[in-house]
Chains A and B, each alone.
Chain A
Amino acid sequence: MYEKDGEKYFVVDGHTHFWDASPENWVEGQEEYAKGWIECFHAYQGLGPKETHWPIDRFQKYSEELMMHDLFEVGHVDKAIFQPTNLRQWYKNGFNTTEADGALAAKHPGRFLVNTTFDPREGDAGLKAFEERVKRYHCKGVKLYTAEWREDSRGWSLKDPEAARYLEKCEELGVTNVHVHKGPTIWPLDKDAFDVSDVDQVATSFQGLNFIVEHVGLPRIEDFCFMATQERNVYAGLAVVVGGLMHARPKFFAKVMGELMFWLGEDKLVFGADYAIWEPKWQVEGFVDWNMPADDELSDFPPLTVDQKKKILGLNAARLYGIDVPEELRLKDPERVEPVGVPNP
Chain B
Amino acid sequence: MTTLVTGARAAVWAALGTVRDPELDEPLTDLGFVARCEVSAAGHAVIRLRLPTYFCAPNFAFLMVADAYDAVAGVPGLTGLDIRLEDHFAADVINRGVAARQGFVASFEGEAVDELDTLRGDFVRKAVLAGTDRVCRSLAGRDPAALTLGEVPPGPDLDRLRARRRELGLPAGDGDPLLLDPATGAAVTPAEAKRHLAFARLTRTSMEANSGVCRGMLRVRYALTSDDEEGTG
Interface residues, chain A, CB within 8 Å of chain B?
32-33, 36-37, 39-40, 43-44, 46-47, 152, 154, 184-186, 188-190, 192-193, 218-222, 225-226, 244-245, 248-253, 255-256, 258-259, 262-263, 296-297, 300, 342-345
Contact = CB atoms under 8 A, between A and B. Distances in A.
B35 interface: no
A37 B55 contact: yes
Interface of B: 23, 52-55, 57-59, 89, 104-105, 108, 110-114, 116, 119, 126, 129, 137, 194-195, 198-199, 201-203, 205-210, 212-213, 216-217, 219-221, 229-230, 233
B53 A342 contact: no
Nearest to B222: A43
B227 to A, nearest CB: 10
Contact of A226 (B54, B116, B199): B199
Contact of A248 (B23, B203, B212): B212
Nearest to B220: A46
Contacts of B58: 188-189
Given A43-B220, A46-B217, A263-B202, A188 B209 contact: no
Most chain B CB neighbours (cut-off 10 Å) among A32, A46, A219: A219
B201 A300 contact: yes
Contact of A245 (B203, B213, B217): B213
A60 to B, nearest CB: 15
Contacts of B198: 262, 342
Contacts of B216: 46-47, 244, 248-249
B233 A297 contact: yes
A269 to B, nearest CB: 15
Given A190-B59, A252-B205, 14 more contacts: A37-B55, A184-B213, A188-B58, A188-B59, A190-B105, A190-B112, A218-B210, A221-B206, A248-B213, A249-B216, A249-B230, A250-B230, A255-B205, A300-B201
Given A219-B23, A245-B209, A255-B209, A43 B53 contact: yes
Nearest to A149: B111
A262 B195 CA distance: 12
Given A245-B213, A252-B208, A192 B119 contact: yes
Contact of A222 (B52, B113, B116, B206): B206
How would you classify the secondary structure of chain B's contact residues: helix, strand, loop or mixed?
helix
Contacts of A37: 54-55
25 contacts: A36-B89, A40-B54, A43-B53, A46-B217, A46-B219, A47-B216, A47-B217, A47-B220, A186-B55, A190-B114, A190-B116, A218-B209, A218-B213, A219-B207, A219-B209, A221-B202, A221-B209, A222-B126, A222-B129, A222-B202, A226-B199, A245-B212, A249-B213, A297-B137, A342-B198
A154 B195 CA distance: 35
B217 A189 contact: no
Contacts of B111: 154, 189
Contacts of A33: 89
Top 9 A-B residue pairs of the complex, sorted by shortest distance between their CB atoms: A46-B220, A219-B210, A221-B206, A249-B212, A36-B54, A252-B209, A190-B112, A255-B205, A186-B55
A252 B23 contact: no
A205 B115 CA distance: 32
A344 B229 CA distance: 36
B113 A190 contact: yes
A158 B59 CA distance: 22
B230 A40 contact: no
Given A33-B89, A190-B112, A343 B205 contact: no
B184 to A, nearest CB: 17
A40 B209 contact: no
Nearest to A345: B195
Contacts of B203: 222
B96 to A, nearest CB: 16
Contacts of B195: 342-345
Contact of B213 (A188, A192, A244, A251): A244
Contact of A219 (B55, B116, B206): B206
A257 to B, nearest CB: 10
Nearest to B119: A192
Point out which of A44, A152, A189 has the most chain B C-beta atoms below 10 A from its C-beta: A189
A39 B229 CA distance: 23
A193 B59 CA distance: 11
Given A46-B217, A249-B216, A256 B119 contact: no
Contacts of B212: 245, 248-249, 252
Given A36-B54, A189-B111, A244-B213, A251 B230 contact: yes
A278 to B, nearest CB: 13
Nearest to B133: A297
Nearest to A220: B206
A136 to B, nearest CB: 32
Nearest to B55: A186
A245 B217 CA distance: 11
A243 to B, nearest CB: 11
A146 B206 CA distance: 21
B54 A189 contact: no
B164 to A, nearest CB: 16
Contacts of A154: 111
Contacts of B205: 221-222, 252, 255-256, 258-259
